Amino acid sequence: MSDTSTGAASEGWGWLPGRLRPRAVESPGSGRTRLIETTLLILVAVLLSVATINDVVRQTHVNHRLIADLRTWREYTGHRYHNLSIEQELFGRGSGREVVCGNTSPGAPKARTQLCLAIWGSVVGGRRTVHGGWYLPATVEDVRADRYGCFGPASAGLCTR
């Protein structure tokens, strides 16, 4: 179909070159455009799928690490508490170094004096290595000013008391 036969859609647009005029319906010759679009769409879908799978695998590895951190805290302290908090930002999210905090005696989350452990290294036997830590008074968040009783090399520069 030629561009001059686009009917009502071209009304008033006759001054435009044929290939620029509007059309009421797509030209049957638009198959090549459709093929290019479909190819691009498939490529984008492949990229998004690979990125999604990669991210799920990455997050699963992170989760395995966090599971090891929780187990490490429980075995180190001898408490089987479930309400533990994990801080990933203190040493940098991509550093693989985490701080796990939990109560030193039974109670609601953060309702008792808390013990925080700085944990990193590879997972061995479902646990990682404790490189230091500190205590926090009840009900406070883990901020430098509230840390005390610091121990181990990891706490260097992170405590005031």
Partner 1 sequence: MSVAAQSERVLDRSRSEWLTPALVSLLALALLAATVEIVLDGAVGHSPLIPKSPQIAGWLQGIGERLGYRVFLIAILVSAGAYAGLIALARRSRERVVVSKRAALLLIGALHLVVFAGPILLSTDVFSYIAYARMGVEHGINPYTHGPLAIAADPVYQYVGHDWRHVATAYGPLYTLLSYPLAPLGLKGALWAMKLEALLASAGTLALVWRCARARGLDPVWAILVLGANPLYVIYGLGGAHNDLIMLLAMMAAVSLTLLAPQSRGRDAGAAAIVVAGALIKATVAALLPFMVLARRSLAPLVGALAALIAGALIGYAAFGVHGIDVVAALNRDAAFVSTDSFATEIAHLFGKPGVFPIDHDLLKAALVAIVVHLMWRTWRGYDWVAASGWTLLAISVTSTWLLAWYILWPLPLAVISRDRRLLVATLVVQALFIAHQISPLLAPVQ
Q: Nearer to partner 1 by C-beta: 54 or 129?
A: 54
Count CB-CB contacts under 10 A for residue 134: 25
**Given the complex with partner 1, which of 85 and 104 has the nearer CB atom?**
85
* Contact residues: partner 1, CB under 8 A: 6, 9, 13, 22-27, 30, 33, 37-38, 41, 44-45, 47-56, 58-60, 62-64, 66-67, 70, 82, 86, 93-94
- As a whole number of angstroms, the distance between CA 137 and CA 120 comes to 24
Q: Measured between alpha carbons, how far is 82 from 14 in angstroms, rounded to an integer?
A: 75
Task: Specify the residue, 52 or 160, whose C-beta has the smaller distance to partner 1.
Answer: 52
Closest separation in Å from C-beta 23 to partner 1: 4
| Distance in Å, CB of 150 to partner 1, minimum | 26
CA 42, CA 48: separation in Å to the nearest integer?
Answer: 10
Closest approach, Cβ 156 to partner 1, in A, equals: 25
Q: Tokens representing 122? A: 């590879």
Q: What is the DSSP letter of 96?
A: T
**Minimum CB–partner distance for residue 161 and partner 1 (Å):** 28
- Nearer CB in complex with partner 1: 64/161: 64
Which segments within the chain are labelled E, that is strand? 85-87, 98-103, 114-124, 127-136, 148-151
